[in-house]
Structures are given as C-alpha cells and as structure tokens.
C-alpha cells in the first residue's frame, strides 16, 4: 500500500476502510437524497438502476470501472456490461433482489467492451426504498488489501482531477486536505489553505452556521448545506457542502470530509429570476406580484395589532400626452422621477409599488389615525405637480389619488385595492390633481356600473339596440348623400338612451367589440337598401372606439367579407374616429388605419380642431374626411374669426386632398356661409337630427328644400 497516500489523504483512507468493510450496510443506512455526496468517493462501485437496468446514478468508482461518464448521457444499461454467459444469473439475481427485503448477492464477470477480457466482481442489490428502482453495490472479486490498494490509486487520480472541490478538516475544524479544484475555487494555493481553520474562509454569518453544523457532525450526522465563502480576492463563493463525519476505530470523531460544489452562478441566476418576478425593471419598485404579497402581510399585521392601514392608488394625469409627444424614453425618465417623488413622501417602512404603466400604489401601515394620510396625499400631489426636467423639455403633470382604509372600507386585499381604484377614478372625474377617499356612494356607483354591464349584455341578446341616422348633406347640391349611424338603446324601463348614457359602461365592461360588430352589420344591411333606393354613391359612417382599433384585424376582414356579400363597394363605408383615438398608441393605430385603407374603407377624423397636434395627424394617419367640430360652427357669422378659421381649414384640407364635413350646423345662415367657404358636406339640426332609417329614407327622397 502507498504510505504517502495516507499522509496526504488520512480521512479518505479511513473512509475507504470503513466503506470497504461493510459497503452495503453503509449504502443502506443513508438517505438516497445524499447519494451524489456521501457515496461519490466510496471505494466500491455504487449504482441506482431502473427496472430495465438503465443506470440512473453512479459514483465515480462505478463510472471508472465501466468507462462511462457519470451522468450516463447515453442511458447505458448495467446488463450490457455483464459478460453474456452470466446474463441468466444476472437476471435471476435482480429478480430476487426486487422481490425480497434482504440484499441479494451474485458473483459474475463484467466487460467494459465485448472485445476486452472480463473481470470478476461481486454484486449486492436490493430494491430502492422508494420502490422505483434497484440499488447495486459492485466490488472487485479480490482480497481486501488488494482492493484497498487499488482504491488508493484510483482515489489519487480521481481526487486530483475532480471537477468538484474536496475538503477535509480535522477534529478542530482545521484544513487537513484540499484537492486542486477546491484551492482553485477559492483562489489560493493548496499550501496556503493547509492547517488553516475553516472559518478563515467565511464571514461572520458563515462562522455562526459552521459552529452549529460541526456540533451536529460530531454526533455522526451527514449533512448538506449552502455556505458563503470568501475568496482570496474578497469576492463571494456560494457553494453546497455535503459533509460526512470521519471516526476512528474506537468511534472517536476525527473530522469531516466535504464535497464542495460551486453554485455561485446558479444562485445569482435564481436571485435575478426572483428580482425580475418581484420588482419593476424600470423604477426598481415592487411590482404587482410583490405588492399583493406585502399588502396581504401588512393587513394581517394591522388586524393583529389593531391599527389602521391606508392604501393609496395613484394615477398620473397627463402622462400619456408626455409619452406620445416626447417619446417613450423621456416618458420612462418621468416615471422614474415620479416614483422617486412618491417615495420621498412616505416612511421607509411603507411600501411604494408600480402596478404598471403610470399607476402606482402606496401601503401606509401601522397608522393610529387617518388624518395623517391626507398630509401624505397632499405632499404627493404637490411634488408631482412640479415640472419634470427632461432634457430641453420641462413638462408638468398632476395625479389623481384614491384612498381606501383598512378595516373600515374592506376586509380583503383584493377588495381594498378595488376600493382605492374606485376612489382614484372619483378623484379623476372630479377634475384631477386631487385625492378622494373611498365612500359607500362610490361602492354603490360601482355596483350600478356592473348592473349596467349586465343589462347591456341582455340588450344585445334581446335586440334592444337601435340605429338612428343623421343625414349628411352635400352643400353644393343640397342632397342627402351620406348618413352617420348613431346607436340608441331602447331600455325597457328608462326609454330611449343616447350613447353617452351607456357606452362608457360598455367600454369599462369590455363590450365595445361586440356592440361595434352589431352596429357595423346593421349599418351595412341598411346601406345596401339605401344604395338600391337612393343611388350607388350613398355612404354610411360608423364610429370606431380605441378598443375596436386595438382589436384583431380578423374583425375588419370579416366586415369586408360582409360588404362583399352584400355587394357594397368598400369605399361606401366610412369609419369615424376621434383624435383621442389617434393618441391611444399612435404607432399601432397608424398601422391599423393603413390596413383599413388598403382594404378600401374610408376614414373620417371626427371633432377636428379640439385635439392635440391635429395638422400632423392629417398627414401621418392618412385621413379621407375631415369633420370640423361644432365649436367652430356655433358662432359662425360674416365678420367672425370662426369663419376665417373655417375657410383656412377647408382650404388646407382640400390642398391635402381631403373633403370636409361641418358638424353641428344649426341655422340656415351657418349653412350658407359654409357653402360659400367651399365646405363639402354638413350635418346638424338645421337639416335633421338622428332619425330612424325609414324617416331618413323619406327625407332623402323628397329633398330638404333648404338650399333650393
């Protein structure tokens, strides 16, 4: 036997002696989960097999004996290494092992390759305690001394070339051996580490954990723990230590042997995944997931301690306009600064979170009374109202803040968030740049909105919707050549309702696509009748919401197919949008409008002149018709500035190849002035309001008589 090996690896020799005396007993005594750690260096081959003898796990000696990679990527079976003449013996041996609670033994020959001479071995096996496999120990059929000498030689080769760190400490927790990999992992030479206490490579926290674990190892317990070591350069090494105690022949504790695996990269990856799952990437605030967890915990704490908790829901007013005009990069900078300002108004113990977009929440915990919440809300409003320095621009925004209190407003996290959200909307509807508490009135209003949504669904199913049409007159000929489809709801109890009475509820309830589809189909069917009666050039316009433009292109494709089936030229259908729709995700809307025009549908820009950057939109979005807002028309007179404005807009539109429709025309004088200014079309009460289809048909046939 090589005596130098004992001096170099005293613990390994002892471990080898113990394992070689009772190999199967050692295998059977330790939980399977520690296989890779406890048995990795055992001087006998150790295998876990599937019932078809596929090798699921093996230690280094087993892999070395068979000439396999330890992870067995080829899914080799142990049976293929058994010499063919011993196959029947091997099969019978495994059959007995699976069907008995006692280990079975078999002597046979193993061949690494069919062309090589086999070598005799002894196998011991029994069914795994989980019942899912077979555990097998393989020993070379030679004397104990020869086996031990062969093991010492193999250990020397394995230990010095191992890809895992091997670290042995003595009874005083001083380093008695490390392999090259272990020294490399910590950035030291082997000589620098020998005789050094294990704690010399740990921080204070690691030392505390180590002291507790050494005491457990002295009791004979094998353990697996994660430790943080400090490398020579001061950086951190996170590692998994699987330790096995070493005892001498009289049972005295001699130290421990540890298998060390570097998990720094995987731990960093796990921390990154956790960070991404719980924190907003832009502002570094807790995201919705972490916010919900913290809100739940803080509410439990408030309930336990009998204190108040306030939840603030903050929505930035005017952020979308900044984002659209200055660009997303500047918008992101504004959000980061807004998050900082909100955080400056609260305590370190409070939670500020970003739910998404321009929505933030604040959890104010441990409150004894409510008035303090108002001071915080006022501070936030004041800070958020200050100009934001974004390069050359200094935009100003405001905020709408909703406040809900626990336990008075809600008992669950979900309900409390809903209350704060409703309170925020109340603040926004009251004029913005203010805060609002949640009240019972808000709750009743929310319930009423929910009921309206249910009623709207019933209205679709029970055909309670109607389309009325307002005529659009050609100002040069005086004929009705177009009509705008306007939705009405004939409510069973409330009578005929205008869109303003119910469309906001349809939008919040997610019903705009269904209702819009119904409107288009009804209008298309009516247009088919009008083109038969009033001429092929008759057109109908249908209003489109932001939700519809964001929807699937397949909806518009289906509409085009419907028009084809009805024999309608696509250009006879006009889709009306407001400038507010254009601002709702400009890039996506631009793409959608381009798709619609390629399909042959026309697009009209409604309420022109009341939005932001209207002239730019005319060129960018490819508009066909311009509808002048009624605010330009209502004070129209010979000497008014409104007439000059209308004339200028009409000339500009014609230069761009657009036709112009004047909305809200109420007097014959306004109609005459618009005709002289060169306006193409007009609509308003001076001609007719919204009419049922049959009344508009009759009016179109007999003529208006207004311009004759």
Q: What is the pLDDT of residue 7?
A: 32
Residue 13, pLDDT score: 34
**Phi and psi (nearest 5°) for 422?**
-65, -40
User: What stretch of H or E contains 414?
Assistant: helix 413-429
Cα–Cα dist 144/17, whole Å = 9
For residue 208, is pLDDT > 90? Answer: no
CA angle 647, 653, 654 (to 5 degrees): 90
| DSSP H/E element including 398 | strand 398-406
- The answer on pLDDT for 27 being more than 70 is no
pLDDT at 263 over 90: no
Per-residue pLDDT, 623 = 84
Instruction: Look up residue 237 and give its two tokens.
Output: 């090494």
- Of 135, 77, 84, 138, the C-alpha closest to 111 is 84
Region 162-175: mean pLDDT is 85
| Whether pLDDT at 37 is above 60 | no
pLDDT bucket at 686, cuts 50 / 70 / 90: very high
Return the pLDDT at 518: 95
Q: Residues of the chain with pLDDT > 70: what percent? A: 84
Paired tokens of 466: 């109607």
Segment 85-138, tens digit of pLDDT: 999 999 999 999 988 878 899 999 999 887 788 889 999 998 887 777 899 999
Strands (E), 7-114: 45-49, 55-58, 104-110
- Would you place residue 153 in the very low, low, confident or very high pLDDT band (cuts 50, 70, 90)? low
Position 333 scores a pLDDT of 93
CB atoms within 10 A of CB 444: 10
Q: Averaged over 562-575, what is the pLDDT?
A: 92
pLDDT at 217 over 70: no
585 has pLDDT over 90: no
| Token representation of residue 424 | 């925020």
| Residue 23 CB contacts under 8 Å (≥ 6 apart), including other chains | 42, 44, 124, 137, 139
Looking at per-residue pLDDT, the higher value among 238 and 445 belongs to 238
pLDDT interval class at 155 (50, 70, 90):
low
What mean pLDDT comes out for the span 346-369? 90
Residue 168 sits at the vertex; the CA angle it makes with 163 and 174, to the nearest 5 degrees, is: 135
Who has greater pLDDT, 540 or 16? 540
The pLDDT value given to residue 151: 61
Q: What is the pLDDT of residue 142?
A: 64
Task: Report the distance separating Cα 663 and Cα 599, nearest Å.
Answer: 27
Q: Which pLDDT value is given to residue 84?
A: 92
Q: Read off the pLDDT of residues 513-531 as tens digits, 9 standing for 90 and up.
A: 899 999 999 999 999 999 9
pLDDT, residue 205, reads 72
Q: pLDDT tens digit string along 471-511?
A: 999 999 999 999 999 999 999 999 999 998 898 888 777 78
Give the pLDDT mean for 677-687: 94
pLDDT, residue 616, reads 59
Kindly report whether the global pTM for this prediction surpasses the value 0.85.
Answer: no
| Reported confidence tier of residue 591, pLDDT bands at 50, 70, 90 | confident
Confidence check: pLDDT of 200 > 80:
yes
Q: Count the Cβ atoms, other than its own, within 10 Å of residue 57.
A: 18
Q: List, in sequence order, the alpha helices (H) in 622-692.
A: 630-633, 641-655, 668-676
**Residue 128 confidence (pLDDT):** 80
| pLDDT for position 210 | 67
- Winning range, highest mean pLDDT, from 213-222, 253-262, 408-417, 590-599: 408-417
Instruction: Give pLDDT, residue 685.
Output: 94
- Cβ atoms within 10 Å of 387's Cβ, excluding its own: 10
Whether pLDDT at 166 is above 60: yes
| pLDDT greater than 90 at residue 418 | yes
pLDDT exceeds cutoff 50 at 16: no
Q: What is the pLDDT of residue 707?
A: 42
Residue 242, classed as helix, strand or coil, is strand
State pLDDT tens for residues 287-326.
998 999 999 999 999 999 888 899 999 999 989 888 888 8
619 confidence band (pLDDT: 50, 70, 90): low
The pLDDT tens digits for 623-674 are 889 999 888 888 887 777 788 888 988 999 999 889 999 999 999 999 999 9
Residue among 408, 304, 395, 294 nearest 350 (CA): 294
Tell me the pLDDT band of 449, cut-offs 50, 70 and 90. Answer: confident
**DSSP class of 118:** P
């Amino acid at each position: 036997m090589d005596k130098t090996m004992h001096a170099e690896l005293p613990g390994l020799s002892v471990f080898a002696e113990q394992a070689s005396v009772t190999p199967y007993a050692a295998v059977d005594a330790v939980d399977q989960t520690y296989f890779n750690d406890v048995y990795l260096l055992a001087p006998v081959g150790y295998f876990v097999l599937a019932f078809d003898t596929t090798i699921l796990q093996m230690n280094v000696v087993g892999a070395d004996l068979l000439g396999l990679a330890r992870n067995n990527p080829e899914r080799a079976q142990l049976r293929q290494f058994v010499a063919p003449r011993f196959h029947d013996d091997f099969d019978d041996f495994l059959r007995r092992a699976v069907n008995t609670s006692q280990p079975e033994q078999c002597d046979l020959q193993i061949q690494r390759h069919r062309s090589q001479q086999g070598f005799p071995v002894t196998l011991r096996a029994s069914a795994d305690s989980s019942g899912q496999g077979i555990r097998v120990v393989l020993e070379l059929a030679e004397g104990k001394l020869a086996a031990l000498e062969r093991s010492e030689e193999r250990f020397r080769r394995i230990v010095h070339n191992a890809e895992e760190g091997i670290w042995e400490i003595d009874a005083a927790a001083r380093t008695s051996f490390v392999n090259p990999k272990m020294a490399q992992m910590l950035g030291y030479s082997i000589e620098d580490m020998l005789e050094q206490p294990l704690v010399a490579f740990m921080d204070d926290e690691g030392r505390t954990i180590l002291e507790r674990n050494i005491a457990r190892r002295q009791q004979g317990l094998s353990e697996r723990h994660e430790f943080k070591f400090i490398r020579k350069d001061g950086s951190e090494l996170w590692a998994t230590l699987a330790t096995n105690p070493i005892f001498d022949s009289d049972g005295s504790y001699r130290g421990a042997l540890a298998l060390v695996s570097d998990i720094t990269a995987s731990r960093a990856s796990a921390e990154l995944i956790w960070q991404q799952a719980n924190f907003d990437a832009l502002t570094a605030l807790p995201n919705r997931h972490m916010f919900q967890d913290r809100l739940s915990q803080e509410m439990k704490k408030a309930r336990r301690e009998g204190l108040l908790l306030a939840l603030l829901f903050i929505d930035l007013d005017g952020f979308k306009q900044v984002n659209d005009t200055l660009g997303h990069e500047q918008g992101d900078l504004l959000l980061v600064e807004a998050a900082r300002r909100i955080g400056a108004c609260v305590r370190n113990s409070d939670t500020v979170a970003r739910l998404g977009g321009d929505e933030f929440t604040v959890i104010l915990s441990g409150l004894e009374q409510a008035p303090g919440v108002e001071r915080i809300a006022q501070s936030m409003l004041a800070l958020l109202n200050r100009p934001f320095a974004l390069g050359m621009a200094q935009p100003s925004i405001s905020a709408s803040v909703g406040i809900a209190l626990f336990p008075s407003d809600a008992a669950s996290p979900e309900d409390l968030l809903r209350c704060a959200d409703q309170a925020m909307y109340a603040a926004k509807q009251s004029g913005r740049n203010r805060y609002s508490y949640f009240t019972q009135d808000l709750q009743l209003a929310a319930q009423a909105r929910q009921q309206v949504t249910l009623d709207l669904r019933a209205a679709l199913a029970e055909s309670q919707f109607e389309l009325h049409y307002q005529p659009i007159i050609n100002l040069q000929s005086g004929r009705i050549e177009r009509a705008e489809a306007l939705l009405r709801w004939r409510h069973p109890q409330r009578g005929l309702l205008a869109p303003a009475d119910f469309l906001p509820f349809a939008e919040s309830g997610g019903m705009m696509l269904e209702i819009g589809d119904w409107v288009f189909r009804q209008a298309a069917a009516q247009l088919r009748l009008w083109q038969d009666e009033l001429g092929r050039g008759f057109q109908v316009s249908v209003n489109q919401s932001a939700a519809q433009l964001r929807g699937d292109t397949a909806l518009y494709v289906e509409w085009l197919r419907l028009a084809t089936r009805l024999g309608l030229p696509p250009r006879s259908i006009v889709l009306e949008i407001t400038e507010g729709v254009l601002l709702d995700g400009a890039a996506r809307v631009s793409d959608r409008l381009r798709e619609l025009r390629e399909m042959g549908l026309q697009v009209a820009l409604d309420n022109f002149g009341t939005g932001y950057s209207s002239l730019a939109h005319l060129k960018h979005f490819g508009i066909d018709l311009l509808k002048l807002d009624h605010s330009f028309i209502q004070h129209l007179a010979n000497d008014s500035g409104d007439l000059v404005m209308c004339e200028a807009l009409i000339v500009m539109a014609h230069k761009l190849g657009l036709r112009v429709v004047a909305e809200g025309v109420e007097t014959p004088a306004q109609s005459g002035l618009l005709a002289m200014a060169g306006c193409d079309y007009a609509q308003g009460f001076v001609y007719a309001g919204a009419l049922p289809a049959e009344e508009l048909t009759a009016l179109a046939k007999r003529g208006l008589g207004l311009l004759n």
